[in-house]
């Protein structure tokens, strides 16, 4: 009964989404306030019914209702409650429902917080979001219904993929999706502005906070996914350039470009058409990512079950959305050419370069992701081009980006006097180069060109990011100090610096070693002694495991005891590696069990990962920067007042 209620709620929300699209768009066109008003109400109703559907599916999981096909395939009686909830979005149908729920939630937020916007503009935004909802609801109802029944119901379910039975992965998809879906708001703002033809700087100001929030969540979601891959897959890597990872990374890169481009449009009224194009692209790449992941067109470690009808549906939807948006763009953008100029040495120039480099990086990732597809179509073989290509290709635009980032922050809008600029930057530049040599040499005892470049670049970003906040701290009285949005920028860039140093050090000085080990034996890796005390059998709720107790000693002194496990999940009979990690800000010591070699001997993978935490810490700090930036008064005060005074 409950699943039918969910199904019915989903159909009702489709009907409401149709109202949410037609009434406000027609109303805005005719200037009919009553029709426009329907948009907000319909959006609220749509959210309510999607939430009911989502709750029904969650209920089916919690009560282990195996007469629902999706539940039977992805849950099991003995599954811990947390994972019964996260199993709701553990596979295609449910994750699509989560996507729809989040889209409805974003729409609701826009409807609630758009009171300061002109009525017709807000109505168009809600209408466009409604159109996107229609697409996804139809997708769910026509090809991927999570409420399909399975009669007769099996006694027990097929269990959630053991890889997904992890707290990190339970919250990774929601964070990632909030980011993905959030770009639909920037998209809707862009479309609404293009429909109305009223493309002044206010549009950029309204869009900025929404875009930043979406970007923050995407940053956190990607970082969490990378962290999960590190400790759960047992390989100790943190990024694999897998097609699905790339699918989330491309919108992030374009979203980052969009944030920077929006700054120029808001402050200076420049790059208008370019900003619009980025807003369209960010969301289109989210859709493309969905298509790549869910159509099975590209082979990936975490691809969803494949089904060509799903592929065709998303592709059609993608085509309608993107072609529609770009036709509108081709029509409106030519009127946006700005005659405002800027000097060669100006913040505008640096932000333009930022955009170009980020777009190039995205294009390289896109090419790398689609290249196997090209080869497959021409020859029929499925191949992968792999990390070696990406690592090199990606570094090419990223290095100049990092160097320019430090300069751009200290460059004025319009035009900057070169001598004053050089006075600010010359000391940081020298210090960065010195640190680039000193950091690897002093702490790790080895230096190479790549290390100097990596550490120097990281030091460069960190120093240049800190100049402004420190200055404003020093002169506490008198001057107004730094604005929240400038502080947010500095913090986000600082995060980038932490990320770069983490990547540099861990790739240069990380040590991996595979060895055979049995109880009573010790091995030494990277100066640490790993001593296997013993092996024991442990039982979890739905798995049994072999657990090793391993003591880590440094110069005879006990650092920590870690307990890596090799788990066998009872239903799917699959083996999972649960690494034992001694985590620290300066280094991680990572122990994972490989295979049983003899009676008691195990192959053990031991890794020494210096500064690897800085990779995720950097992402966290970047997101924090975003949070600080959106708390700026400029956005909170609401655009109503600014309009009144304008």
Q: Which stretch binds other proteins (CB under 8 A): 47-55, 121-129, 253-261, 276-284?
A: 276-284
Does 450 sit near other proteins (CB under 8 A)?
no
Q: How far is the CB of 6 from other proteins (least distance, A)?
A: 30
Does 376 sit near other proteins (CB under 8 A)?
yes
Residue that has been written with the tokens 């949410």 in this structure: 20
Q: How far is the CB of 245 from other proteins (least distance, A)?
A: 12
**Cα separation, 355 vs 74, whole angstroms:** 42
**Cα separation, 630 vs 209, whole angstroms:** 5
Q: Which of 255, 277, 292 is nearest to 181 (CA)?
A: 255
Tokens of 618: 């950097």
Q: Rule CB under 8 A: which of 51-90 touch other proteins?
A: none
306 SS3 class: coil
**Cα separation, 228 vs 367, whole angstroms:** 26
Cβ nearer to other proteins, comparing 63 with 338: 338
**Cα separation, 450 vs 445, whole angstroms:** 15
User: What crossing angle do the helices spanning 167-196 and 243-268 adopt, rounded to 10°?
Assistant: 40
Q: How far is the CB of 385 from other proteins (least distance, A)?
A: 5
Q: Rule CB under 8 A: which of 543-602 touch other proteins?
A: 594-595
Q: Would you say 504 and 444 are in contact if contact means Cβ atoms under 8 Å apart? A: no
79 SS3 class: coil
Does 334 sit near other proteins (CB under 8 A)?
yes
Cβ nearer to other proteins, comparing 567 with 605: 605
**Cα separation, 510 vs 503, whole angstroms:** 10
60 SS3 class: helix
Residue among 51, 77, 233, 315 that touches other proteins (CB under 8 A): 315
Does 233 sit near other proteins (CB under 8 A)?
no
**Cα separation, 425 vs 638, whole angstroms:** 36
Tokens of 532: 């296997």
Does 333 sit near other proteins (CB under 8 A)?
yes
Q: How far is the CB of 373 from other proteins (least distance, A)?
A: 5
Does 383 sit near other proteins (CB under 8 A)?
yes
Residue among 273, 346, 349, 490 that touches other proteins (CB under 8 A): 273
Residue among 326, 353, 486, 546 that touches other proteins (CB under 8 A): 326
Does 300 sit near other proteins (CB under 8 A)?
yes
596 SS3 class: strand
Q: Rule CB under 8 A: which of 507-526 touch other proteins?
A: 512-514
Helix (H) or strand (E) holding 515: strand 511-517
Does 529 sit near other proteins (CB under 8 A)?
no
Cβ nearer to other proteins, comparing 20 with 607: 607
Residue among 37, 269, 387, 519 that touches other proteins (CB under 8 A): 387
Residue among 323, 396, 430, 538 that touches other proteins (CB under 8 A): 323
Q: Would you say 127 and 39 are in contact if contact means Cβ atoms under 8 Å apart? A: yes
Cβ nearer to other proteins, comparing 158 with 311: 311
**Cα separation, 560 vs 216, whole angstroms:** 34
- Per-residue contact track with other proteins, 102 to 121, x per CB under 8 A? --------------------
Q: Which stretch binds other proteins (CB under 8 A): 137-145, 259-267, 386-394, 526-534?
A: 386-394
Does 330 sit near other proteins (CB under 8 A)?
yes
Does 368 sit near other proteins (CB under 8 A)?
no
Phi and psi, residue 515, nearest 5° = -140, 160
Residue among 48, 141, 345, 373 that touches other proteins (CB under 8 A): 373
Does 200 sit near other proteins (CB under 8 A)?
no
Polymer length in residues for the chain: 646
Task: Give the up-direction half-sphere exposure of residue 364: CA atoms within 13 A in the CB hemisphere.
Answer: 20
∠ at Cα 125 (221, 355), nearest 5°? 55
Residue that has been written with the tokens 């059609």 in this structure: 316
Q: Which stretch binds other proteins (CB under 8 A): 171-179, 180-188, 326-334, 417-425?
A: 326-334
Q: How far is the CB of 595 from other proteins (least distance, A)?
A: 6
Cβ nearer to other proteins, comparing 372 with 408: 372
Does 322 sit near other proteins (CB under 8 A)?
yes
Q: How far is the CB of 132 from other proteins (least distance, A)?
A: 17
Does 464 sit near other proteins (CB under 8 A)?
no
Does 143 sit near other proteins (CB under 8 A)?
no
Peptide bond into 573 cis (omega under 30): no
Does 295 sit near other proteins (CB under 8 A)?
yes
Residues 6+ apart with CB under 8 A from 376: 382, 383
**Cα separation, 613 vs 124, whole angstroms:** 44
Does 318 sit near other proteins (CB under 8 A)?
yes
Cβ nearer to other proteins, comparing 309 with 479: 309
Q: How far is the CB of 301 from other proteins (least distance, A)?
A: 6
Q: Would you say 130 and 39 are in contact if contact means Cβ atoms under 8 Å apart? A: yes
Q: How far is the CB of 514 from other proteins (least distance, A)?
A: 5
Q: Which stretch binds other proteins (CB under 8 A): 3-11, 299-307, 466-474, 620-628?
A: 299-307
Cα dihedral sign, 249-254-257-258: negative
Phi and psi, residue 300, nearest 5° = -150, 160
Does 372 sit near other proteins (CB under 8 A)?
yes
Does 609 sit near other proteins (CB under 8 A)?
no
Does 385 sit near other proteins (CB under 8 A)?
yes
| 8-state DSSP, 68 | B
Q: Would you say 246 and 368 are in contact if contact means Cβ atoms under 8 Å apart? A: yes
**Cα separation, 66 vs 156, whole angstroms:** 7
Site size with other proteins, rule: CB under 8 A: 51
Q: Would you say 613 and 604 are in contact if contact means Cβ atoms under 8 Å apart? A: no
Which residues here bind other proteins, judged by CB under 8 A? Answer: 240, 242, 273, 277, 280, 284, 291, 295, 297, 299-301, 308, 311-312, 315, 318-319, 322-323, 326-327, 329-330, 333-334, 370-377, 379-388, 512-514, 594-595, 603, 605
């Amino acid at each position: 009964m409950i699943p039918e209620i969910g199904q019915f709620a989903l159909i009702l929300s489709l009907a409401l989404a149709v109202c949410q699209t037609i009434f406000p768009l027609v109303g805005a066109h005719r200037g009919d306030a009553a029709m426009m008003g329907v948009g907000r109400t319909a959006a609220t109703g749509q959210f309510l019914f999607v939430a009911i559907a989502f709750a029904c599916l969650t209920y089916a999981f919690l009560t282990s209702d195996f007469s629902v096909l999706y539940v039977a395939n992805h849950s099991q009686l003995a599954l811990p409650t947390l994972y019964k909830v996260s199993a709701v979005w553990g596979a295609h149908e449910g994750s699509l429902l989560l996507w729809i729920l989040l889209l409805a939630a974003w729409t609701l937020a826009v409807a609630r917080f758009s009171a300061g916007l002109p009525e017709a503009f807000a109505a168009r935004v809600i209408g466009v979001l409604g159109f996107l909802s229609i697409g996804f609801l139809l997708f769910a109802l026509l090809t991927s219904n999570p409420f399909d029944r399975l009669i007769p119901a099996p006694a027990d379910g097929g269990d959630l993929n053991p890889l997904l039975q992890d707290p990190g992965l339970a919250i990774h998809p929601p964070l990632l999706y909030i980011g993905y879906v959030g770009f639909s708001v920037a998209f809707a703002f862009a479309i609404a502005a293009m429909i109305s033809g009223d493309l002044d700087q206010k549009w950029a100001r309204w869009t900025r906070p929404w875009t930043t929030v979406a970007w923050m969540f995407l940053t956190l979601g990607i970082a969490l996914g990378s962290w999960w891959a590190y400790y759960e897959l047992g390989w100790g890597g943190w990024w694999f350039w897998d097609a699905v990872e790339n699918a989330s990374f491309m919108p992030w890169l374009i979203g980052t470009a969009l944030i920077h481009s929006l700054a120029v449009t808001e402050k200076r009224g420049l790059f208008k058409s370019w900003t619009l194009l980025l807003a369209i692209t960010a969301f289109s790449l989210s859709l493309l990512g969905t298509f790549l992941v869910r159509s099975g067109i590209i082979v990936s470690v975490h691809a969803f079950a494949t089904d060509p009808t799903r592929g065709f549906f998303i592709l059609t939807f993608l085509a309608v959305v993107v072609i529609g948006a770009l036709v509108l763009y081709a029509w409106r953008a030519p009127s946006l050419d700005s005659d405002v100029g800027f000097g060669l040495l100006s913040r505008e120039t640096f932000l333009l370069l930022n955009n170009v480099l980020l777009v190039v990086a995205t294009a390289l990732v896109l090419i790398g992701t689609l290249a196997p597809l090209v080869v497959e179509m021409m020859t029929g073989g499925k191949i992968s081009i792999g990390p070696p290509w990406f690592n090199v290709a990606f570094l090419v635009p990223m290095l100049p980006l990092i160097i320019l980032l430090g300069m751009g922050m200290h460059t004025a809008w319009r035009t900057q006097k070169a001598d004053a600029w050089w006075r600010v930057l010359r000391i940081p530049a020298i210090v960065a180069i010195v640190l680039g040599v000193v950091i690897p040499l002093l702490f790790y005892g080895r230096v190479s060109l790549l290390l100097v470049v990596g550490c120097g670049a990281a030091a460069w970003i960190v120093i240049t990011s800190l100049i402004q906040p420190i200055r404003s701290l020093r002169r506490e009285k008198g001057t107004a100090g730094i604005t929240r949005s400038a502080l947010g920028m500095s913090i986000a860039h600082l995060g980038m610096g932490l990320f770069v140093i983490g990547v540099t050090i861990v790739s240069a000085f990380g040590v991996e070693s595979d060895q055979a080990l049995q109880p009573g034996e010790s091995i030494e890796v990277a100066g640490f002694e790993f001593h296997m005390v013993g092996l024991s059998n442990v039982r979890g709720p739905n798995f049994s495991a072999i657990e090793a107790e391993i003591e880590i000693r440094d110069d005879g002194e006990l650092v920590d005891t870690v307990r890596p496990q090799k788990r066998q999940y009872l239903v799917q009979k699959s083996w999972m590696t649960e690494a034992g990690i001694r985590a620290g800000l300066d280094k991680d010591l990572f122990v994972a069990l490989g295979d049983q070699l003899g009676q008691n001997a195990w192959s053990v993978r031991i890794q020494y990962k210096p500064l690897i935490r800085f990779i995720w810490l950097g992402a966290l700090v970047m997101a924090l920067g975003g949070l600080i930036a959106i708390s700026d008064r400029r956005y909170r005060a609401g655009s109503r007042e600014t309009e009144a005074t304008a």
